[in-house]
Structure 1
Amino acid sequence: MFVRNNNIQFPTSSFTHHHRMESSTPLLFRGNAESQQRESDDDDGQKQKQNANSSSIPSPTLTLTTLVAVFGSYVFGTAIGYSSPTQSRIMIDINLGVAQFSIFGSILTIGAMIGAVVSGTIADYAGRRLAMGFSQLFCILGWLAITIAKNAWWLYIGRLLVGCGIGLLSYVVPVYIAEITPKNLRGRFTAVHQLMITCGMSLTYLIGAFVNWRTLALIGIVPCLIQLLSLPFIPDSPRWLAKVGRLKESDSSLQRLRGKNTDVYKEANEIRDYTEALQQQTEASIIGLFQLQYLKSLTVGLGLMILQQFGGINGIVFYANSIFTSAGLSESIGTIAMVAVKIPMTTLGVFLLDKSGRRPLLLLSAVGSCLGCFLAALSFFLQDIHKWKEVSPILALVGVLVYVGFYSLGMGAIPWVIMSEIFPINVKGSAGSLVTLVNWLCSWIVSYAFNFLMTWSSTGTFLGFAVVCGFTIIFVAKLVPETKGRTLEEIQASLNSNSMKR
């Protein structure tokens, strides 16, 4: 027997059903009634087991929706990976110096900061799907500008536009995926964001070894178009729909994402109750985030993003070829080795995230990244003192690969996963914008300064990155909460309990 509530079916209480049978059934037939009740209870138990199993197996709609979303992550990866294989040819064809190419490489992050500033506002008011579509328009225009560039200014404009697009994508993709997935799959699915960034970056490295830089920019438009044309066919976030008062659409979207035979009443009720509680509060501006009730969430979110970037990742992947050259290695060997390590380690991180939890994987990733940076620093130190000249290039390669591999295991994906989990929906837009902005600001500092730092001291550069990775271990151990196996509402309520009381 079912009762309909906002287009969702859920079973009536078995206790009520049993009580009605007891009071209205003669004693002679009560044995049969009790037998029927036991059968009914068994059926309810079976349904609960089926729902539990179905929550651990993603529906086809959820899988396809996530795939469409992470095409945006792939675009993110192609933008980051573009500068490394094209550096020498662009500098020759457009007659750029090192400082000018550093501007070209780092201006992506300036565009991303602009995108980050408006990302939360656009995602909150227009919705997650429209925000992804809007970002792809910027990326397409940017890649076209780079393709036809005849001078440095067209390169800068194109790179800036692509940056605006990926700044928006870097916030909205993990948030959207976190909001559409059940709690036991959320970490794994959100980490696919980083896996697709890695795939985009790695394939751009490889393709860039065989095609010229204009063709590579033109190829960058393809994943943008795939996502843009697919967005009308996926559902919007049920949590965002509930937030803006479109409750029936929220229920319908949730049912579609979980599968038509799945009982979603409990999850829909949690979303609705939490949203109603938060609607009693005003939307917080970025300034309004600096209140006691949001202190822990903000500290964790900002801290992880700062440490992620000052650990050196964007300097290393933006200018990987120049690192391998300065270490005395072939560009192609270094690039192929990075791809061979980065994709499998990122994939392993995706599968481990919902099994091991966020904190253990972050700690392991930070320890390995610290070791990799130390080995790279040792290699350049041996070069400086002219010792073990045959060993130092191999040591540099091993150090970079250890760093990239362990970074890909956890530090690449998990800060974005946690960012998408820890902020309540009434501050998620402004908090997400701030956290993403800080991430890209730190990325710009590292990517712009990296070539100059390497000229000053390659050893000192990698030792500095090692120190940051070491501090990351302490930060994670002391402050980062474990969010595995908890609903978004449970996480946010525990972190922001003071805000829920107001």
Structure 2
Amino acid sequence: MAESRRSYTYDPVGTGEPYRMESGQLWRQYLIGAIANIAILCTGYSMGWTAPINIKLQNNDTSQSPLDHKPSNGEIAWMGSVLNFGAIVGPFIGGFAASTIGRKWGLMSSTIPLLVGWILAAVATNMAFLYAGRIFWGIAVGMLFTISPMYCAEIATVESRGALGSFLQSFITVGFLLVYGAGPFISYHGVAYLGMAVVVLFAVSFFFMPESPTYHLLKDRTEDAAQCLMTIRGRSRQGVAEELATMKADVLASMEKKATLRDVFRGSNFKAFYISCALVFFQQFSGINAVLFYMTDIFKASGTDLDPSIATIIIGAVQLIASFITPFVVDRLGRRILLLISSCGTAIGLALLGMFFLLRHVGSPAVANMGVLPVIALVLFIVTYCWGLGPLPWAVMGELFPIEVKAAAAPPATAFCWILSFLITKFFPTISGNIGMHVGFFIFCACCVAAFFFTLFIVPETKGKSLQEIQQLLGAKNTEPEKA
């Protein structure tokens, strides 16, 4: 019977029973991407750790805290903020690791600062231990937010690259929900031991995953790249030959253009860089950290008697559900349409929150009849943020930079994100306390409106395009390797 596409038989495990598998196994790259993103789950767990732990540390029942004193509000604020110091440094460590020991072992090396952080948290007797632990977690966060999008973009086919890039936001929300759900109901040390267990789970499971084929090609190890590609695609050596040849041509072209940090600020590379930085700016200045910081106040303002711990779990579940929608639709709808929907939805949610808190600030009697409004606005904001502004800046960043520039460009762009995160986390509560919470929400709303128009006019659509085609979109002059 004639077949519509070329196929042949092979025996991948030496059983003597060859079978047809030329179409490949798409699920493999999703499984590998998911296992790689267990590390991102670890960062979500670490970042969300403060939500249940702050309550334990400041509780009058000192048996719940390992510290020798009850921390002040200022100490708690610094504990929340210092993670960003490590996250600013981490991208440069991650970029160096990705280019020297590989994407896989760069991801594996992130377990070191993660475990050091958890050990410090477990043995803590004063705030200095917790500050240090949070800084180590921040280093891991910076490393992983640099390497993980790079790894996922390099193992993905064109058709699934957006979905794998969206895994970052999905898995970080799993980490948040895990610590939100478990933290209030287990001991302080139980939270730390669970964090360690998740890190060990990642290290053991990812140990068996392949390296990025692109990294092997960069090191001129063609057969190693072929073996990795066979594992990722579920195809034979002949079945990956065409894709391998294309990847090798792209890598050879990139190796002719050795990139330094200076090259990031030239031509199409700079366009990719400023688009990436703008997207992470809009991500942070959507006010996600401020909204989550004030989540308890928002629920209280609505007049509900819901326990803050339960409210946090509910919002974590909403984040999780919304985040897992994006991987299923991003390669069908495209990046731009999701970013447009996301920036529009977050702007509306923030405008409603700003209006509610403005009315409360001026003592309007209308607030009494608007109790459900802040909750609706919060859910709208969270859901639409998770559809676009949360995951897609990282996915797009992994696509925009050419191979030779990624290791040089990703660290400063990622560090920029965490500098913004620190500024918002540390200073927004003070500013809002002095001039009113509504002002901050209106500022964030304006930034989301700006994100809408920036996406509409500047951000290119990368759906269904090869990495070389994306470079052509950005205006790269020499996207084809020179012929001999």
TM-score (ref. length: structure 2)? 0.89
Equivalent in the alignment of 2:31: 64
Q: Quick check: 2:163–2:328 contact (8 Å CA) kept in 1?
A: yes
Counterpart of 1:427 in 2: which secondary structure? helix
Q: Which moved more, 1:238-247 or 1:473-482?
A: 238-247
Is 1:283 the equivalent of 2:252?
A: no
Q: 1:328 to 1:43 in 2, by over 3 A?
A: closer
Counterpart of 2:251 in 1: which secondary structure? helix
Distance (Å, rounded) in 2 between the aligned partners of 1:299 and 1:465: 20
State which of 326, 337, 342 in structure 2 corresponds to 1:365: 342
Give a deviation string over 1:353-406, Cα, whole Å, max 9, x none.
Answer: 011000001100110011111111122122222223434442222222111111
Query: Structure 2 matches for 1:143-182, cutoff 5 A?
Result: 143-182=118-157
Q: Quick check: 2:169–2:391 contact (8 Å CA) kept in 1?
A: yes
Equivalent in the alignment of 1:47: 7
Q: 1:167 to 1:88 in 2, by over 3 A?
A: same
Give a deviation string over 1:32-51, Cα, whole Å, max 9, x none.
Answer: xxxxxxx8xx5573539x99
State the AA in 2 paired with 1:420: G
State the AA in 1 paired with 2:249: D
Distance (Å, rounded) in 2 between the aligned partners of 1:200 and 1:159: 16
Moved beyond 6 Å, runs of 4+ = 50-53
How well do the aligned residues superpose, as a CA RMSD in angstroms? Answer: 2.3
Structure 2 gaps of 5+ residues are 9-18, 60-64
Counterpart of 1:184 in 2: which secondary structure? helix
Q: Quick check: 1:327–1:380 contact (8 Å CA) kept in 2?
A: no
Shift of 1:492: 2.8
Shift of 1:152: 1.1
Distance (Å, rounded) in 2 between the aligned partners of 1:221 and 1:85: 17
Is 1:224 the equivalent of 2:199?
A: yes
Shift of 1:131: 0.8
Give a deviation string over 1:146-194, Cα, whole Å, max 9, x none.
Answer: 1221111111000100110111011111211110011111111221221
Q: Which moved more, 1:452-461 or 1:421-430?
A: 452-461
Distance (Å, rounded) in 2 between the aligned partners of 1:129 and 1:363: 33
Distance (Å, rounded) in 2 between the aligned partners of 1:154 and 1:82: 15
Q: Quick check: 1:177–1:186 contact (8 Å CA) kept in 2?
A: yes
Distance (Å, rounded) in 1 between the aligned partners of 2:472 and 2:188: 49
Is 1:298 the equivalent of 2:273?
A: yes
Q: Which moved more, 1:446-455 or 1:107-116?
A: 446-455
Question: Number of paired residues?
Answer: 458
Equivalent in the alignment of 1:33: none
Q: Which has the higher helix share?
A: 1
Distance (Å, rounded) in 2 between the aligned partners of 1:267 and 1:293: 25
Q: Quick check: 2:107–2:148 contact (8 Å CA) kept in 1?
A: yes
Q: Quick check: 1:373–1:403 contact (8 Å CA) kept in 2?
A: yes
State which of 428, 441, 444 in structure 2 corresponds to 1:462: 441
Query: Structure 2 matches for 1:285-364, cutoff 5 A?
Result: 285=261, 287-318=262-293, 320-321=295-296, 323-325=298-300, 329=304, 330=306, 331-364=308-341
Distance (Å, rounded) in 2 between the aligned partners of 1:496 and 1:441: 29
Shift of 1:333: 4.7
Equivalent in the alignment of 2:190: 215
Give a deviation string over 1:18-74, Cα, whole Å, max 9, x none.
Answer: xxxxxxxxxxxxxxxxxxxxx8xx5573539x999936x5143x3332222010110
Shift of 1:344: 1.4
Counterpart of 1:282 in 2: which secondary structure? coil
Q: Quick check: 1:362–1:476 contact (8 Å CA) kept in 2?
A: yes
Shift of 1:90: 1.9
TM-score (ref. length: structure 1)? 0.86
Equivalent in the alignment of 2:375: 397
Q: Quick check: 2:269–2:405 contact (8 Å CA) kept in 1?
A: no
Q: Quick check: 1:76–1:200 contact (8 Å CA) kept in 2?
A: yes
Q: 1:276 to 1:338 in 2, by over 3 A?
A: same
Query: Structure 2 matches for 1:181-192, cutoff 5 A?
Result: 181-192=156-167
Q: 1:319 to 1:168 in 2, by over 3 A?
A: farther
State the AA in 1 paired with 2:244: A
Q: Quick check: 1:85–1:321 contact (8 Å CA) kept in 2?
A: no
Structure 1 gaps of 5+ residues are 1-38
Query: Structure 2 matches for 1:128-147, cutoff 5 A?
Result: 128-147=103-122
State the AA in 2 paired with 1:271: M
Distance (Å, rounded) in 1 between the aligned partners of 2:103 and 2:475: 24
Shift of 1:493: 4.2
Distance (Å, rounded) in 1 between the aligned partners of 2:399 and 2:323: 20
Q: 1:242 to 1:480 in 2, by over 3 A?
A: same
Equivalent in the alignment of 2:224: 249
Distance (Å, rounded) in 2 between the aligned partners of 1:216 and 1:80: 13
Is 1:472 the equivalent of 2:451?
A: yes
State the AA in 2 paired with 1:264: V
Give a deviation string over 1:238-289, Cα, whole Å, max 9, x none.
Answer: 011111211111111111211134722221111111111111112222x331
Distance (Å, rounded) in 1 between the aligned partners of 2:368 and 2:182: 30
State the AA in 2 paired with 1:177: C
Counterpart of 1:47 in 2: which secondary structure? coil
- Computing the radius of gyration from Cα coordinates, the structure with the larger value is 1
State which of 402, 412, 415 in structure 2 corresponds to 1:424: 402
Equivalent in the alignment of 1:88: 55
Shift of 1:114: 0.9
Counterpart of 1:233 in 2: which secondary structure? coil
Shift of 1:87: 2.0
Give a deviation string over 1:429-476, Cα, whole Å, max 9, x none.
Answer: 010111111111111111112321331211111111111111100110
Q: 1:83 to 1:185 in 2, by over 3 A?
A: same
Is 1:484 the equivalent of 2:444?
A: no
Distance (Å, rounded) in 2 between the aligned partners of 1:476 and 1:53: 38
Distance (Å, rounded) in 2 between the aligned partners of 1:322 and 1:63: 38
Equivalent in the alignment of 1:376: 353
Distance (Å, rounded) in 1 between the aligned partners of 2:340 and 2:125: 46
